[in-house]
Amino acid sequence: MNRILSLSIIALLSITLSSCEIVGGIFKAGVWTGLILVALVLGLIIFLFSRGGRKD
């Protein structure tokens, strides 16, 4: 019974979702995550250099 339920769920998902939509969603999430991480790292580097350049 459990195997039939699993196979029917997989069949339903494979019919309703196309692989292009899944790959596109993962790619969009990856791009935004990458952009946010790059912006944070650049901000951290700029902050550290501006703080290191000051003489108190």
φ/ψ of 53, rounded to 5, equals -80, -20
Instruction: Map out the domains of the chain as residue ranges.
Output: 19-56
**Which tens digits make up the pLDDT trace of 8-54?**
887 777 777 666 776 777 777 788 888 888 899 999 999 988 887 66
- Distance between CA atoms of 49 and 45, rounded to whole angstroms? 6
Q: Can you say whether the dihedral through the CA atoms of 42, 47, 50, 51 is positive or negative? A: negative
Q: How confident is the model at residue 6 (pLDDT cuts 50, 70, 90)?
A: confident
